[in-house]
Structure 1
Amino acid sequence: MQITLIFPPSWIPSQPFLSLPSLQGFLKKEGIHDVSIRDLNIEVMDTLLSKKRVEDTYVKVNERIRRGGKSFGNDTDNSGETERIEWVKEVIEFENMFQKVEWAKATLKSEGFYDINDYVESWKIIDRWLQAYGMLYYPSEITITDNSMKYSVYSSSDIIKAADDENENPYRDLFQGHILDSIVKDGPSLVGISVTATSQVMPAFTLARLLKERNKDTHITMGGSVFTKLIDNLKGPHKLFELVDSFIVFEGEHALLNLIEQLDGKKDFSKVPNLVYRDGNKTRVNEPFHIEDINSLPTPEYYGFPFESYLSPMRVLPLQSSRGCYWRKCTFCNLHIDNLRFRLRNLDLVLEDIEKLKEEYGTRYMFFSDECMPVKQLDNLSLRLIEEGNDVKWMAGVRFDRGLTKDIIQKARDAGCLKMVYGLESSNKRILSLMEKGIETETIKSIIGYCLDSGVAIHMYIIVGFPSETREEALETLDFIRSNDGFIKSRGASCLPCLFELEKYAPIMRDPGKYGLTKIAHPKRDDMSLGYFYETNKGMTPDEACNVYGYVKRNR
């Protein structure tokens, strides 16, 4: 039987995501060879950023202007539609999108990526073009890493409506034609769709709808961290089973293997670990949940991904030296839900992974996608790479751990580490304590200094609006970053502010009163909610935090 695994839009377009290559490598190790993987995120983006797509859109725009602004099959009176479509025509014509879109895409794949002016201009062009393209499906929007519609990704009723909406859902058009035909022609008995972020929800279920319209007998399963956090929500006669046959929660390797075996055999889905499925009138959740032995897993296999399409001058491949988070205490974070237990991969296997990926895919660039690599693992990895003369270049996510010394960071740099990704979140002592980050501001300053001295670039995430945080405390973090002249001027430095969201299963929910949280709720229609609206009697209100977040984002 043929198995097709799909990673849908919208996601970062600069490198592949690890989920499908990990599954493909495992299945082939277990003797399942009729498996293919598709990164529709980059396939769709590559199609969107093409001269042909601009030309096709221009033809559609002129036809809709001729029809008074109305889309085909839509004769309703949409106020402002003509003006919007005429604006799209102006953008295409007067901003020369016919040539500029291809230039921007080519620049990001070449040495022009490293020219800051060309880099910024390329993203401006892409943002502008996607804004214009999205107008054809107004009020829906498409950005480089996200999408939005009038429908809520947290409502199953809305998801179904969106999947059927031919006028406002751009993904129905984007998937129709080559992409859908190329999937169906292989005749897959099983299609697995990996959904790691809410930005992928609408495209994923749209694709599922279109595939079911072509062949209702194709078994469609969805997996990924989004559904792991929705296990309780999926119980009962859930509407989403109209579009898919099953969900895989937590880790997927053995679950997918067993699902394939049952589809090819007795179809006894009770034997499939981590599976959520309909059994007559009941929804079954197969427990206990299986935890993978990551030292028995093979090297990821990326065959099937279009490497030439990613918006990066270098081929960068993700891999892991661990699963889960060894800290697991941050009160705002629910990533600990995705992995039931923290596990380290044997360092000999990690080094074997690196060598295989280098040899098979012709690249020296790796990204360790661990939640946070433990200091000892980082140090030992660096030592082994140096001893073996490995010329790999890499980056990794780490904590501002006080065990991260100057010598360890210098060793990592000598071993090829180009960048470290940190969760700063805040520089304020009180907020750091409430977050239970387990770090001190002085430790943060020291580690930043060690990185700068060693030539390791730094990326930092910060959170604005943590409950009880005041405007002054949020701006203190902004000042902490901006006042560090060495960081600001360093090569490859970056910082991404995030607005606090009260997420399902975050430890903060164990004692919301401690943080001044009141009136925690979510809309009744949101049966797929991953978080909550809230009010607070301390610090900034959510609206005030949103305003400060905007200020920080503009001035970081």
Structure 2
Amino acid sequence: MFSLQVIVPPQADPSSVPYRASTLVRRLRALHHTVRLDDDNQHAYDFFLDPKRLTACLLEAERTLNQMEEGSTLSTLREEYLYYRTGRALLYGANLPKQVEHAWSVLQNRGSSVVQREEAKRIVQHALEVAGLSAFPSLISLHDLNLPYSSESSEHCRRAAVDDAVNPYVPFWRERVGQIKSDRPDAVILWIEVDQQVIPSLTLARMLKEAAVSAEIVLAGPFARFISQALGGSNPWKEWIDTLACGPDLFSGITVQGQPLLAEGTASPDLWTVEGLPLDRYLGQPPVAVLPLAEDDPFFDGKGDKETIAGLYQRMRALSQSEPTLRFYLSTPIFPEWLCELARLMEADGFRPAWGSLVSYGTWLSAEQAAQLAAAGCEFLHFELKGFLGYPDQHTAKQQMTDSWRNARAAGCRVLLSLVFGHPLSDPRDFEAFVSFLNEHQFAYDRLVRFQLFRLTPGSRFWNDPAAYGIVEIGEAERERDLKRHFPFVSRYGVNSAELYPLAAGYIAGLKRRAGDLPTTALKLDDWAFRGEGRNAVSQQANQLPDEGGEEVLQLSPDVEARRFAYPFGMLEQRWRTFLIGQTPWPEAEPLQQSLTYVVYLNDRGKMSVVNSAVFNVIELCKQPVKETELLAKFPARQAESLRSLLRKWKKEGMVRVYAESAAALSD
């Protein structure tokens, strides 16, 4: 028997539980191995979002910005980007470290509204940007990792793992290396499910080997299987990774000292579990498991059949036995009739967890089906739409879509929509009519969650039989991109997949009609979709208005940050706001020259504005409580009316708060 340690590395989405890693541990323990489980993905969020660490990062950012402004020019675009990133971090405000813990709790609170959740995600995202400054130009986020290296290249992954200057995970892993060195397990199994976990995993493996840790290092999990298949079974990181697991099913192929730990086909369906995970830390509360229809086939999209639905039901039952409050999101698009088969199994067994599901495009949900799903505990239905594709004509599509949404809501299920743009069997130029239809019926659904581009993935049915799915040409990958997950293609309509993004950008702008639609940070799970417990409106501090005859005291809202910059920050924002290191080409431009700029940032809305020096002066005066009459007296009488108009606007927008004089004195 072996002493083993299973680690879930960062940087994966924290909204759902990594139940596969927990299940692996349970199956290994059933064979009498000694196994330790660590969800270091969740631990990494705790590490990066630690308030003391964030405070230190902001102090360092202040020093960096001051040093850069002492010079006369920014000599390179890299320096300019550092200046921009540092300036953005400081605009998030000194209160950011105190806000993070509350923001995380808002995301865990079932009563939080969409607006509250989006504001909380923005705060957490800002904090992660600040935490990542020490590894500039790398950028970490709630669901992604951007370095100057590509995870689509095994060689780039190697280079990223040894580049301590831009790798944010080196300080995070030091404590784990010490623990493993002390415990001396026979093997460390790094369980990876998404590409963002590859570079952090290799970083830990490299550090363990450099520390002369004797444990074998095994890379396993769904994405390890993809790597092995993409590379024809070869292991490009042999100096760090002893075994790159790739068996015929999810848990096979893991070997230690030449011995397979789990034989193919020996898994028992009742061993699925979430035991040993920090269930109270995930963003979904109670915790949520995001389940595909089939575990062993990443490209399975059969929409459902009796066997796969029965297997899905068995997994749900077993997982619920390990954690009775566990909720479920079924992440494979499923036909309504097969969802009803799942509901029938639940009803027959008296099993009624909270759950929701993705619904396949081109389908219709009847009132009877919706009622059956709701009676079985379904709380939301997430409809995947690919324009009008899947229906015989536009009229039928519109009728069946709106009927389905109406039936779902009438049964008590929330209705979410995700759009997939660029399917090769549809003409992207016909999407305009679909966007108009959605805008006309925006109150027929609860939330528009995602807008995704169609991706051609090796191993999918589109890849294996391109002609049947409207693909007339598949592009070549660059030679060094040996882990490429998506390939360019040309559809039968003559549309090159490279043209999809600019086309989509215009549609996205036309669809963002409501607060909360198409969020910038889209997590795997939209926890708001589940039923809340007394959902509350966004709480805002009420103005304590003066008594009649009293005098108003004004003070700048704590959500407002105002700063002077030596460089034109508005132009920097335009140049760098959408830049992602490793994904976006560096701009072809010269660094900007110094130009004093005054910037106001509204943290509660994520909105930045450039103002003139006079407006900035008023903002500075409002940082401390000030009577409106005293504020007006500081400016020439001819400016009084325009200043009153400005203050009225700020009061209405919440930029300044109005207090009674006694309340303002207490707040000092």
TM-score when scaled to structure 1?
Answer: 0.78
CA shift in 2, pair 1:345/1:223, >3 Å: farther
Residue of structure 2 in register with 1:525 after alignment? 480
RMSD of aligned residue pairs (Cα, Å): 3.7
How far is 1:521 from its partner?
Answer: 0.6
Quick one: which amino acid aligns to residue 549 of structure 1?
A: A
Residue of structure 1 in register with 2:27 after alignment? 26
How far is 1:477 from its partner?
Answer: 3.5
Q: Tell whether the 8 Å contact from 1:427 to 1:480 is kept in structure 2 after alignment.
A: no
Quick one: which amino acid aligns to residue 58 of structure 1?
A: L
Secondary structure of the residue aligned to 2:487 is strand
Distance (whole Å) between structure 2 residues aligned to residue 11 and residue 212 of structure 1? 24
CA shift in 2, pair 1:225/1:422, >3 Å: farther
Distance (whole Å) between structure 1 residues aligned to residue 167 and residue 313 of structure 2? 47
Secondary structure of the residue aligned to 1:420 is strand
Residue of structure 2 in register with 1:452 after alignment? 409
Distance (whole Å) between structure 2 residues aligned to residue 154 and residue 321 of structure 1? 26
Q: Tell whether the 8 Å contact from 1:7 to 1:193 is kept in structure 2 after alignment.
A: yes
Distance (whole Å) between structure 2 residues aligned to residue 189 and residue 405 of structure 1? 55
CA shift in 2, pair 1:223/1:254, >3 Å: closer
Quick one: which amino acid aligns to residue 449 of structure 2?
A: C
Distance (whole Å) between structure 1 residues aligned to residue 318 and residue 48 of structure 2? 33
- Work out whether 1:210 is the aligned partner of 2:202: no
CA shift in 2, pair 1:509/1:388, >3 Å: closer
- Work out whether 1:314 is the aligned partner of 2:286: yes
Q: Tell whether the 8 Å contact from 1:400 to 1:422 is kept in structure 2 after alignment.
A: yes
Distance (whole Å) between structure 2 residues aligned to residue 22 and residue 508 of structure 1? 31
Quick one: which amino acid aligns to residue 207 of structure 1?
A: L
How far is 1:130 from its partner?
Answer: 2.3
Q: Tell whether the 8 Å contact from 1:127 to 1:144 is kept in structure 2 after alignment.
A: yes
Q: Tell whether the 8 Å contact from 1:26 to 1:297 is kept in structure 2 after alignment.
A: no
**Is 162-171 or 458-467 further displaced after alignment?**
458-467
Residue of structure 2 in register with 1:547 after alignment? 502
Distance (whole Å) between structure 1 residues aligned to residue 279 and residue 502 of structure 2? 39
Distance (whole Å) between structure 1 residues aligned to residue 22 and residue 259 of structure 2? 27
Distance (whole Å) between structure 1 residues aligned to residue 227 and residue 138 of structure 2? 25
Q: Tell whether the 8 Å contact from 1:399 to 1:422 is kept in structure 2 after alignment.
A: yes
Quick one: which amino acid aligns to residue 153 of structure 1?
A: S
CA shift in 2, pair 1:61/1:402, >3 Å: closer
Distance (whole Å) between structure 2 residues aligned to residue 424 and residue 449 of structure 1? 16
- The equivalent position to 1:394 in structure 2, one of 355, 358, 363, is 355
Q: Tell whether the 8 Å contact from 1:196 to 1:225 is kept in structure 2 after alignment.
A: yes
Secondary structure of the residue aligned to 2:172 is helix
Distance (whole Å) between structure 2 residues aligned to residue 431 and residue 182 of structure 1? 61
Residue of structure 2 in register with 1:419 after alignment? 380
- Work out whether 1:142 is the aligned partner of 2:140: yes
| Consecutive unaligned residues in structure 1, runs of 5 or more | 70-75, 274-289, 326-332, 434-438
How far is 1:166 from its partner?
Answer: 0.8
Secondary structure of the residue aligned to 2:475 is strand
How far is 1:9 from its partner?
Answer: 2.0
Secondary structure of the residue aligned to 2:133 is helix
CA shift in 2, pair 1:30/1:461, >3 Å: farther
How far is 1:213 from its partner?
Answer: 2.2
Equivalences for 1:151-300 in 2 at 5 Å? 151-176=149-174, 178-235=175-232, 238-249=235-246, 250-256=248-254, 259-260=255-256, 263=257, 267=258, 290=264, 292=265, 296-300=268-272
Counting matched residue pairs gives: 499
| Deviation by residue 1:447-483 (Cα, 9 ceiling, x = unmatched) | 3332122121233332222337444323333334333
Distance (whole Å) between structure 1 residues aligned to residue 313 and residue 152 of structure 2? 42
Secondary structure of the residue aligned to 2:280 is helix
| Deviation by residue 1:92-136 (Cα, 9 ceiling, x = unmatched) | 5x352122222212222235x522332221112222222333333
Residue of structure 2 in register with 1:496 after alignment? 450
Q: Tell whether the 8 Å contact from 1:205 to 1:243 is kept in structure 2 after alignment.
A: yes
Residue of structure 1 in register with 2:9 after alignment? 8
TM-score when scaled to structure 2?
Answer: 0.66
| Deviation by residue 1:275-334 (Cα, 9 ceiling, x = unmatched) | xxxxxxxxxxxxxxx4x476x322423232222221234332456775467xxxxxxx94
Quick one: which amino acid aligns to residue 185 of structure 2?
A: P
Residue of structure 2 in register with 1:73 after alignment? none
CA shift in 2, pair 1:431/1:378, >3 Å: closer
Q: Tell whether the 8 Å contact from 1:88 to 1:133 is kept in structure 2 after alignment.
A: no
How far is 1:204 from its partner?
Answer: 2.1
| Deviation by residue 1:177-233 (Cα, 9 ceiling, x = unmatched) | x34434443322222222222222222222222222234532122223333334444
- The equivalent position to 1:482 in structure 2, one of 436, 439, 464, is 439
CA shift in 2, pair 1:245/1:272, >3 Å: farther
Residue of structure 2 in register with 1:103 after alignment? 102
- The equivalent position to 1:366 in structure 2, one of 313, 327, 344, is 327
CA shift in 2, pair 1:39/1:374, >3 Å: farther
Residue of structure 2 in register with 1:44 after alignment? 44
Secondary structure of the residue aligned to 1:531 is coil
| Deviation by residue 1:24-82 (Cα, 9 ceiling, x = unmatched) | 232233333x112222222111222231221232354356568869xxxxxx9963376
Equivalences for 1:53-68 in 2 at 5 Å? 53-61=53-61
Residue of structure 2 in register with 1:357 after alignment? 322
How far is 1:347 from its partner?
Answer: 8.2
Quick one: which amino acid aligns to residue 276 of structure 2?
A: G
Residue of structure 2 in register with 1:284 after alignment? none
How far is 1:366 from its partner?
Answer: 1.6
CA shift in 2, pair 1:77/1:462, >3 Å: closer
Identity of aligned residues (%): 18
| Deviation by residue 1:339-384 (Cα, 9 ceiling, x = unmatched) | xx9745468845742651344xxx2x42154635565663344345
Q: Tell whether the 8 Å contact from 2:301 to 2:332 is kept in structure 1 after alignment.
A: no
Quick one: which amino acid aligns to residue 96 of structure 1?
A: N
| Deviation by residue 1:236-290 (Cα, 9 ceiling, x = unmatched) | 764222321112225233444xx25xx3xxx356x976xxxxxxxxxxxxxxxx4
Q: Tell whether the 8 Å contact from 2:19 to 2:273 is kept in structure 1 after alignment.
A: no
CA shift in 2, pair 1:242/1:385, >3 Å: same
Q: Tell whether the 8 Å contact from 1:468 to 1:539 is kept in structure 2 after alignment.
A: no
CA shift in 2, pair 1:299/1:395, >3 Å: farther
CA shift in 2, pair 1:236/1:121, >3 Å: closer
Q: Which structure has the larger Rg?
A: 2
Q: Tell whether the 8 Å contact from 2:189 to 2:219 is kept in structure 1 after alignment.
A: yes
Quick one: which amino acid aligns to residue 270 of structure 2?
A: P
Quick one: which amino acid aligns to residue 415 of structure 2?
A: I
Q: Tell whether the 8 Å contact from 2:362 to 2:388 is kept in structure 1 after alignment.
A: no
How far is 1:533 from its partner?
Answer: 3.0
Quick one: which amino acid aligns to residue 478 of structure 2?
A: P
**Is 233-242 or 450-459 further displaced after alignment?**
233-242
| Deviation by residue 1:408-433 (Cα, 9 ceiling, x = unmatched) | 32112112111233432332358999
CA shift in 2, pair 1:235/1:512, >3 Å: closer
Secondary structure of the residue aligned to 1:239 is coil
Q: Tell whether the 8 Å contact from 2:336 to 2:364 is kept in structure 1 after alignment.
A: yes
Secondary structure of the residue aligned to 1:526 is coil
